[in-house]
Homo-oligomer: A and B are copies of this chain.
Amino acid sequence: TERKMEAKFAYTPMVEIKKLEPRNEVWGENFPREFQSWSKTEQSDFKSKYNGSAEIDMLEVDPRLVVLWAGYGFAKDYNQSRGHQHAIDDLSNSLRTGGPTGPNDGPMPSTCWTCKSPDVPRLINEIGVNEYYSGKWASKGEEIVNSIGCANCHSEKSMKLTITQPALIEAFARQGKDITKASHNEMRSLVCAQCHSEYYFNKNLPESKGIPYLVFPWDEGQTVEDMEKYYDNVGHVDWTHKISKAKMLKAQHPGYEVFKMGIHGQRGVSCSDCHMPYKTEGGQKFTDHHIQSPLNNVANSCQVCHREEKEELIKNVFDNQDRIIENRDQLERLLVRAHVEAGKCWELGATEAQMKDILHGIRLGQWRWDYAAASHGGSFHAPVELGRVIGKGIDITQETRIKLAKLLMTLGFNGDVPYPAIETKEAAQKFIGLPMEKLEAEKEKFLKELRPKWQEAAKKREATY
């Protein structure tokens, strides 16, 4: 037919896209609508009640977090997520990644780059998975510069959605599922599951001994209990808490897992339906690549399926979030108390044997809190499940505090362990003894000296493509 012919003639690709091309602008030549909308993830000006693209210092908003994470990187710096185009900058700017002075310096491994850039699949293809995961974060600074983009989700040949994350493919395989069999609609969520999933670094994989290999802990399932079972089985510990000495787990954005348990996930609504809804321009429907909070785009996301007023829909979201976050915040307070009470026990000379159950209780309670808290959007994605998880978290934490109360009295302490003075981020960081000035100075130096060199080197390399 005429139009189809037209298509073949008029729309020859502008450029040929190389395999695993990391530069989004290059893809943009062929796909201007998608590229232009993707570019808008640069914007950082929308704030909803709890989320949005604006930069929000979570430790400022909620200094309790500092105590919960004492002894771990997150106590130094933790911000609410921003658009995909900020991923590289935010990783580099975070105090968690420290101030490396050379390729073998700094607190974080290479693996940290994994969910931040289309340079990652390129690099894995070039040097292999083990090599990629090896070494310090700083060792790949010159290689990884483009922020999350086309090559993370698309194959350049067919433009089909594609999975470029080894961890996701491997997690499916270990569960006996073949990700290549996923339907197109499932792929509209699975491309997100590449990164918006709970993960840990496993250093004991037989073929990758000593390498912090990225693993999704889904072997037993994806509920909070399933993943806890997995971690308990493999004996995984993310860090030892500075105050309570509990062997902690950190939950990291189990977004996909939680979403699947909610009613939208159950009904087959995909992440893209809400975060990348179709948009009509010039009578053509295309996928809006401005991934963001749907509350900044209710008309194209929610209202295509729901006839209610925008205000009403936003209220529904807030109602769910308010109800979940009320108890989540309370659980935080209880965990702060549990940590300081455990600290007091040690101070009073408690034995390992006396503390054993208590420390395990703290681990399980905080894991539940974090599963709910780190799953951004989860209070809307699956509120009933998160209500359950937090309720159970409160139960476990309080049961632990009963044991603490008894132990404290056994140790001769009769009063209440006071709630720490942590009204501000600064106060909280001081309370746990973080040398903030030093950390900030190191970071500043890194950003002024080393990082510009990485960028320069990368520019040169890319010029040869």
Contact = CB atoms under 8 A, between A and B. Distances in A.
A392 B387 CA distance: 10
B384 A320 contact: yes
A326 B385 CA distance: 11
Contacts of A326: 388, 392
Interface stretch (A88-96, A352-360, A402-410, A420-428): A402-410
A395 interface: yes
Contact of A398 (B320, B327, B390, B394): B394
Given A327-B395, A398-B401, A409-B409, 8 more contacts: A263-B316, A266-B316, A323-B387, A326-B388, A330-B395, A383-B383, A390-B391, A398-B402
B387 A388 contact: yes
A392 B327 contact: yes
Contact of A402 (B327, B388, B401): B401
A113 B161 CA distance: 65
26 contacts: A263-B316, A266-B316, A267-B308, A323-B388, A324-B387, A324-B388, A326-B392, A327-B395, A330-B391, A330-B392, A330-B395, A334-B395, A383-B383, A383-B384, A383-B387, A384-B387, A387-B390, A387-B391, A391-B394, A394-B395, A398-B399, A398-B401, A401-B402, A402-B405, A405-B405, A406-B414
Interface in A323-356: 323-324, 326-327, 330, 334
A371 B395 CA distance: 19
Contact of A384 (B334, B384, B399): B384
Interface in A246-301: 263, 266-267
Interface of A: 263, 266-267, 308, 316, 319-320, 323-324, 326-327, 330, 334, 383-385, 387-388, 390-392, 394-395, 398-399, 401-402, 405-406, 409-410, 414
Copies held by the complex: 2
B392 A395 contact: no
A262 to B, nearest CB: 10
Contacts of A383: 383-384, 387
A327 B266 contact: no
A214 B318 CA distance: 36
What 8 pairs across the A-B complex have the smallest Cβ distances? A387-B387, A398-B398, A391-B391, A327-B391, A323-B388, A383-B384, A409-B409, A405-B405
Contacts of A320: 384
A95 B266 CA distance: 44
A396 to B, nearest CB: 9
A327 B394 CA distance: 10
Contacts of A391: 327, 330, 387, 390-391, 394
B323 A385 contact: yes
